[in-house]
Amino acid sequence: MKAVVYKGPFTVAVEEIERPGIQHPNDAIVRITSTAICGSDLHMYEGRTAAEPGIVFGHENMGIIEEIGQGVTSLKKGDRVVMPFNVACGFCTNCVEGFTGYCLTVNPGFAGGAYGYVAMGPYKGGQADYLRVPYADFNCLKLPPGEEHESDFILLADIFPTGYHGCELAQVRPGESVAVYGGGPVGLMAAYSALIRGAKKVFVVDRIAERLQKAEEIGAVPINFAEGDPVEQIKDRTEGIGTDKGVDAVGYQATAHGTEREEPATVLNSLVGTVRATGAVGVPGLYVPSDPGGPDEQAKHGMLLVAIGKLFEKGLRIGTGQCNVKRYNRFLRDMIIEGRAKPSFVVSHEMPLDQAPSAYDKFDKRIEGYTKVVLHP
Ligand code: NAD
Ligand code: ZN
Ligand code: ZN
């Protein structure tokens, strides 16, 4: 079968690899119909992680059940399913508590597993014709048959739940104002989720025109950080007080305002400035314990200069971490089915799997409006 294989920094290739088979009675094999490229894939693509050449990318996957192991009871051949990017067992302490992003059994020595991701276990990615799904009863979310809502449902694998998770971490409530830093797929989904949750006003900070325009289209207020300090721009629009809540949908690869320089703590510090005293900040944006490509010695070890004194003075709460997709995917699916949510507005490009190399290149450069790419094997 064909699969997208990492070859080294800034290079992927579509290659023939062996088709996966059932390895355990609880496995299912899914024929992939849609698989998306994520901002998180770019961390590996740019060679900023320990990812070795040969890894098959793809943690955002959906498709049709092709084969099930003898122990799988809730699924049958032909079912249409979407999988959380997290691989989880369903029975460890963390899974039972709903923290499926921190499963204790699927990736020994590390809390949490994922498909096609460095350090997240031995699971191959789904940017391929077929994918092996462990603990299939737990990890497959059933979808209505047919082809309707394909580009909405694929976003249930990661970014729609992850954006929602950003709002959950910040405890966004109806009537509140929210500042979302980052207008990439995760930021747009966080802004969309904040609006779904009844926020009165949502700001989206970025500098890429197409992304700010998408933010405006869903009813958020675009803030271009290339046009001045975003903290001041948002304070000017909130009577000098700032917002009730904030979401960091950028992570450590943040650009310092007014420069082209990467400064990993920029967004955290902007949020400390933007959110009013006693507000809360959700951080789905990725931070890592080690970053060989970091701009200074501390950053290379995941140590950042964050304004913790100001954060304390303002009594801000902060929540971080991987999204536990399974906590949210079922009800977000139902909102799509009922026509109450249509996250596919974020999808900018759909193309055959063969075109992955060019899609990675353009998405990495954020050119030609590349915001979210869905590949079809
Ligand atoms: P992306 O790179 O497409 O989007 C990031 C956006 O941030 C870009 O549009 C960029 O222009 C903007 N940006 C850069 N510096 C900024 C600044 N100082 N202020 C405001 N905006 C700035 O990535 P994405 O796919 O949207 O993902 C965003 C982050 O979320 C990444 O770190 C990704 O790894 C992470 N992520 C986390 C989870 C999770 O489970 N927690 C899941 C998926 C993705
Ligand atoms: Zn992803
Ligand atoms: Zn578990």
CATH number of the domain residue 341 falls in: 3.90.180.10
User: Residue 48 has what pLDDT?
Assistant: 85
State which residues form the domain around 60: 2-157+324-376
Are residues 166 and 153 in contact, defined by beta-carbon separation less than 8 angstroms? no
Backbone φ/ψ region at 98: left (φ over 0), alpha (ψ -120 to 50), beta = left
Do 77 and 51 share a domain, yes or no?
Answer: yes
* pLDDT(110) > 90: no
4, containing H or E segment:
strand 2-8
Least distant ligand from the CA of 96: 3
Please work out whether the CB of residue 20 comes within 6 Å of at least one atom of ligand 1. no
From CA 212, how far away is CA 207, in angstroms rounded? 7
CA 289 – ligand 2 centroid, Å: 19
Token code pair at residue 186? 């995760």
Please work out whether the CB of residue 254 comes within 6 Å of at least one atom of ligand 1. yes
pLDDT tens by residue, 282-315 = 999 999 888 888 899 999 999 999 999 999 999 9
Measured from the Cα of 283, ligand 1's closest atom is 41
Do 315 and 168 share a domain, yes or no?
Answer: yes
Do 56 and 170 share a domain, yes or no?
Answer: no
Out of 250, 257, 288, 322, mutate this one to test ligand 1's pocket (max ligand atoms within 8 Å of CB): namely 250
Please work out whether the CB of residue 251 comes within 6 Å of at least one atom of ligand 1. yes
Do 257 and 283 share a domain, yes or no?
Answer: yes
Spatial neighbors of 348 by CB under 8 A, at least 6 apart, are 210, 369, 370, 371, 372, 373
CA 31 – ligand 2 centroid, Å: 19
Please work out whether the CB of residue 166 comes within 6 Å of at least one atom of ligand 1. no
Between the alpha carbon of residue 105 and those of residues 286, 290, 331, 374, the distances in Å are 23, 23, 26, 30
Out of 48, 120, 286, mutate this one to test ligand 1's pocket (max ligand atoms within 8 Å of CB): namely 286
Do 139 and 52 share a domain, yes or no?
Answer: yes
pLDDT range class, residue 38, cuts 50, 70, 90: very high
User: Residue 10 has what pLDDT?
Assistant: 97
Measured from the Cα of 183, ligand 1's closest atom is 9
CA 242 – ligand 3 centroid, Å: 39
Do 164 and 307 share a domain, yes or no?
Answer: yes
Q: Please list the residues that pair with 224 across neighbouring strands.
A: 206
Tally of structural domains, the chain: 2
Which of the listed residues 291, 320, 349 is the one where a domain comes to its end? Answer: 320
Do 36 and 107 share a domain, yes or no?
Answer: yes
Do 172 and 130 share a domain, yes or no?
Answer: no
pLDDT tens by residue, 237-265 = 999 999 999 999 999 999 999 889 999 99
286, containing H or E segment:
none
Helix (H, G, I), strand (E, B) or coil at 276: strand
Going by alpha carbons, the residue nearest to atom 7 of ligand 1 is 182
CA 92 – ligand 3 centroid, Å: 4
Which of the listed residues 284, 302, 320 is the one where a domain comes to its end? Answer: 320
Radius of gyration of the chain (CA): 20
- Helix 159-169, helix 329-337: angle, nearest 10: 120
From CA 186, how far away is CA 153, in angstroms rounded? 15
Are residues 31 and 61 in contact, defined by beta-carbon separation less than 8 angstroms? no
Do 71 and 143 share a domain, yes or no?
Answer: yes
Q: How far apart are the first and last CA of the chain?
A: 10
Backbone angles phi, psi at 14, to 5 degrees: -90, 115
Do 264 and 171 share a domain, yes or no?
Answer: yes
Least distant ligand from the CA of 325: 1
**Largest Cα span, the chain:** 62
CA 84 – ligand 2 centroid, Å: 10
From CA 40, how far away is CA 252, in angstroms rounded? 11
Are residues 61 and 82 in contact, defined by beta-carbon separation less than 8 angstroms? yes
User: Residue 337 has what pLDDT?
Assistant: 98
Which of the listed residues 320, 337, 358 is the one where a domain comes to its end? Answer: 320
Do 163 and 153 share a domain, yes or no?
Answer: no
CA 58 – ligand 3 centroid, Å: 21
CA 75 – ligand 1 centroid, Å: 34
* pLDDT(21) > 90: yes
User: Residue 108 has what pLDDT?
Assistant: 87
Helix (H, G, I), strand (E, B) or coil at 271: helix
User: Residue 28 has what pLDDT?
Assistant: 98
Token code pair at residue 291? 């970053």
Please work out whether the CB of residue 3 comes within 6 Å of at least one atom of ligand 1. no
Nearest alpha carbon to residue 211 among 343, 348, 344: 348
Do 329 and 303 share a domain, yes or no?
Answer: no
Helix (H, G, I), strand (E, B) or coil at 217: helix
- Based on the number of CB atoms within 10 Å of its own CB, is 118 exposed (0-12), middle (13-18) or buried (19 or more)? middle
Q: Please list the residues that pair with 366 across neighbouring strands.
A: none
Between the alpha carbon of residue 205 and those of residues 140, 187, 243, 254, 360, the distances in Å are 34, 9, 13, 12, 24
Please work out whether the CB of residue 294 comes within 6 Å of at least one atom of ligand 1. no
Please work out whether the CB of residue 158 comes within 6 Å of at least one atom of ligand 1. yes
Buried b (16+ CB within 10 A) or exposed e, 322-342: bbbbbbbbeebbeebeeeebe
pLDDT tens by residue, 179-200 = 999 999 999 999 999 999 999 9
